[in-house]
Structures are given as structure tokens and as C-alpha cells.
A and B are shown apart, each in its own frame.
Chain A
């Protein structure tokens, strides 16, 4: 079946502009995660949605970052007033979130470059 999809695959923007990144999780997956991967670094947790529960926003680096998940499916990560240090690959993952262990499946990522 279809995996996690993300759009756009690449985004170049100017410092100070806002950007929106989209994630379509695997159908039926109730949990959705956003991570950030800076060049040559590991993955940094940003935010986590689980069903109708309040999201875990503990990883968001500043109030310029926000995310929403509409209808329990598609999610949008918004970065306002982008800075050069926001340049990174933004990865989305989803999981069934059933049972005790929930495998996370990742999308291909959106490569963001802030000039």
C-alpha cells in the first residue's frame, strides 16, 4: 500500500518568509510525528499527534513553529518568519499506535533551504 507522503519534496525560501510543509500519513495510522534532520545530524523530535488527544509539542524549537492535523489524517507543519538555521530536512512519520509497540514509518522528507 501507499506509504507516508510529504510535499513539497524541496522548498527554497527567503529569510523571513513563512512556509507550510504537508504530510499524508499511511491510511489508518492514528499517530503522526514530525522530526527535523539537520545536515549530518540525527533526527530531532518536533511534535506528535495521537488521535484526538492534545499534541505533544515539547520538541518545537520556538513559537515560530506550529503544526496541525486536520480530520485525524493530513498534517501541516508551519514555520513562520523562517531563519537560515531552519534549513534542514523535515521528516514525517506515522504509526498504528496500537498495542504496546508502535513502529514508525517515515516519509521521504521535505528539504527546506532558507536563503
Chain B
């Protein structure tokens, strides 16, 4: 089955700096890659996703890149703010069949003032 690895497990940046979280996946058939943000005591919330037919997607301060050949994808957060502090999860799935998501183990991002 699919295996998703995520790095780093913790990341501390100063407010205004950029943060990058990287994930690799094992199943070349995976074609959908969402990123979720989880705040303390809450369920994960989708922040951005990318399909296998594009290499990059941006939404304001958040961007995601996908390299299908290398089977890795990354989340980039620019101009970080304290409210960006949370745990971020990457995931992968093969849509059109059983669309269960395989998640990475999460990255705890701390944005310091």
C-alpha cells in the first residue's frame, strides 16, 4: 500500500520567515495530494491540495509543489504569522477507487515573534 513520509517533525521559524515541509510517497498511482492544518483540540482542516496533472499551486501565502518523477511534494508558507502555528499533515490518495487518504506523521510548526 501507499506510504507517506513527512519531514521535519518539528519546525520553528520567526514571524515573517518562510516555512517548508516536505513529503514523499511510494505509490506512483497516487494522484491527489492534500495538506491539512490541525490546531489543538480540533479536527484537520484542508488548506490546499494539488492534483497530479499540475506541478504547482498557490493560494495567497501558501503554495504546494509536486514532483511526480521523484514522488515528492512540498508545502511552502511565506511571511509566516503566529496563527500559522499548528500541526500540518500531508496526505496522498488514488482517487476514483477507494479514496482513503494515507497521511504523513505531521509537522509541528511554531512561529515565534
Contact = CB atoms under 8 A, between A and B. Distances in A.
Interface of A: 4, 31, 33, 35, 40-45, 48, 50, 56, 58-59, 91, 93, 95, 97, 100-109
A104 B42 contact: no
Closest 3 CB pairs of A and B: A106-B43, A42-B103, A42-B105
B57 to A, nearest CB: 13
Given A48-B98, A59-B100, A101 B32 contact: yes
A16 B93 CA distance: 35
B43 A109 contact: yes
B46 A103 contact: yes
A41 B95 CA distance: 24
24 contacts: A33-B101, A41-B106, A42-B103, A42-B106, A43-B44, A43-B89, A45-B101, A48-B99, A50-B98, A58-B98, A91-B44, A93-B43, A97-B99, A101-B49, A103-B46, A103-B49, A105-B46, A106-B44, A106-B45, A107-B43, A108-B41, A108-B42, A108-B43, A109-B42
